[in-house]
Structure formats: C-alpha cells, structure tokens
A and B are shown apart, each in its own frame.
Chain A
C-alpha cells in the first residue's frame, strides 16, 4: 500500500463547477500538507499549504485536512479552463517539511 493514495482521474467538469480533489494517507506522523499544480510539460508549483488539521482558503481554493481520517481535500470554486492541470497532493512528517511524499496526481480538465 502506498503512503499516499490519490485517484489519478481524469476528472472532467464544466466551467463554473465546484471541483473536489482528495488524498488519503497512512502515516499518522504526517504534519505538513500541500497541494501542487502541474501544467502539462511543466514543473509543479505550490498552490496551497496547511500545517496539521484545519481549513485554509485562498481565493477560489480551499484546502482541508482531517488528520483523524487521514484525509485531505482541495476544493476549487467557479472552476475555469485555466485550472486544467494535474493536481498533486504532498505531505511530510515530523522529520521536517523538506522530505515530501507525493500522491500520483489527479488530472483535471475544465471545459468551457
């Protein structure tokens, strides 16, 4: 079993939809949770970062962490075609936030 599980999709939604992306993990020691966005043939870029449990909102994006369920989510409101990309969850443990474990990534397509 992988430490971090993420449905690879693809996920196809119409413009304006609310998108929900999720990851589950097995290591209860994880403390740092991140979402990276990767456009085709580009390097990943950090979208959201959360430490421990709770919610964090940034514009149209909301990240949630539920440590009791070992489950993290990223919500995208009013999705746009420019949101079409692969979204990777990443997390790390008490050894430091540098050693990231990535999920497989979910490919999202937002069509006009």
Chain B
C-alpha cells in the first residue's frame, strides 16, 4: 500500500489567497483526520471524518478553514483567505477502527508558507 498521500508537499502563497490541501487515505480506512503542526502549538487535531461524514470539527480555528470528504478516497482542507499565521505543516491521517488497532497512519504532510 502507498500509505496516506498528500499533495502538494510544499505550498507557498500570498496572504489572502485560497489554499487547497489534498489527501488520499489508505484504501479501506474509515476514519480520516486533519492535523496542523507548528512550533508554538505542536500537533493539533483540526477535524475528523468517519465514513466521509464530519464527526468533530471543534479544532478548526476559524471559518476561513473548511474540510470536505466527497468520497472514501479523497479529502480536502481549504483555507480562504489565507493568513501568515496559517503557516504550518498540515498532516492528514487515516485509520481503520474495529480491527483492534488504534493506529492513525499519517501522511508526509504539506508544508504551507503564507507570506
């Protein structure tokens, strides 16, 4: 299996622009998570989905952030408009619950820089 795939790996954009991050979870996994990692705040859960349905979005910082999961193999995290404080590494993770494993498999991350 290729693991969790994220694109792009690096994104540099200007303040005010729309940013879309993409994630392909591991095939067959039923949970998908979006995290943000910064030096100041560490690794934070933004939102997670179960069977494509958003379960908990309490970690989404502001209305500028939105996430969708139109099908089991694709999810997006959108920031509109972007701000310099959104600069971070964004990770997508997936897991399969019910097999006795609680492991979340993380992708390589998207490093976002907003200037």
| Interface positions of B (Cβ within 8 A of A) | 4, 31, 33, 42-45, 48, 55-56, 91, 93, 95, 97, 102-109
Known: A49-B102, A49-B103, A99-B56. A43 touches B109 (CB 8 A): yes
* B106 near A44: Cβ-Cβ < 8 Å: yes
* A98 near B48: Cβ-Cβ < 8 Å: yes
Q: Of A34, A42, A103, which is within 8 A of B102 by CB?
A: A34
Whether A75 is near chain B, meaning CB under 8 Å from some CB there, is: no
Cα A104 to Cα B33 in complex, Å, equals 19
Whether A45 is near chain B, meaning CB under 8 Å from some CB there, is: yes
In addition to A46-B104, A100-B104, 8 A-B residue pairs with Cβ atoms within 8 Å of each other are A34-B102, A42-B109, A43-B91, A43-B106, A43-B108, A46-B103, A88-B43, A98-B48
* A104 near B108: Cβ-Cβ < 8 Å: no
Interface Cβ pair total, 8 Å cutoff = 46
* B106 near A45: Cβ-Cβ < 8 Å: yes
| Interface positions of A (Cβ within 8 A of B) | 32, 34, 41-46, 49, 88, 97-105
* B31 near A98: Cβ-Cβ < 8 Å: yes
With both chains docked as a complex, state the minimum distance between the C-beta of B94 and any C-beta of chain A, in angstroms.
Answer: 11
Residues of A within 8 A of B44 (CB): 102
Instruction: Identify the closest chain A residue to B42 (Cβ).
Output: A104
With both chains docked as a complex, state the minimum distance between the C-beta of A55 and any C-beta of chain B, in angstroms.
Answer: 18
Cα A32 to Cα B104 in complex, Å, equals 13
Q: Of A88, A99, A101, which is within 8 A of B48 by CB?
A: A99
Residues of A within 8 A of B93 (CB): 43
A-B contact pairs, 18 of them (CB 8 A): A43-B4, A43-B91, A43-B108, A44-B91, A44-B106, A46-B104, A49-B102, A88-B43, A97-B102, A98-B31, A98-B55, A98-B97, A99-B48, A99-B56, A101-B45, A102-B42, A102-B43, A105-B42
* A103 near B108: Cβ-Cβ < 8 Å: no
With both chains docked as a complex, state the minimum distance between the C-beta of B97 and any C-beta of chain A, in angstroms.
Answer: 8
Cα A67 to Cα B107 in complex, Å, equals 31
